[in-house]
Amino acid sequence: MTILLVEDDAKTALYVTEALQKQAHIVRWAVTGSDGFLQARQNDASLIIIDRMLPCLDGLSLLRQLREDGCQTPTLMLTAMADTDDRVEGLEAGADDYLGKPFAVAELLARVNALLRRSRYRGHDKAPTWLRAGNLELDLISRKVFRGGKEIDLQQQEFRLLQYLMENAGRIVTRSMLLENVWDLEFEPKSNIVESHMSRLRAKLDRGVSGETIHTVRGAGYTIHT
Q: Would you kindly state where each structural domain of the chain is located, as residue ranges?
A: 2-123, 130-224
Q: How large is the average pLDDT for residues 63-82?
A: 86
d(CA 49, CA 200): 37
Top pLDDT among 129 and 52 is at 52
Per-residue pLDDT at 143: 86
Per-residue pLDDT at 96: 86
Is a pLDDT exceeding 80 seen at residue 129? no
How confident is residue 125, by pLDDT bands cut at 50, 70 and 90? Answer: very low
Tens of pLDDT, residues 181-200: 888 776 677 778 999 999 99
For the domain 130-224, what is the CATH code?
1.10.10.10
Per-residue pLDDT at 83: 66
Chain centroid offset of residue 72 CA: 18
For the domain 2-123, what is the CATH code?
3.40.50.2300
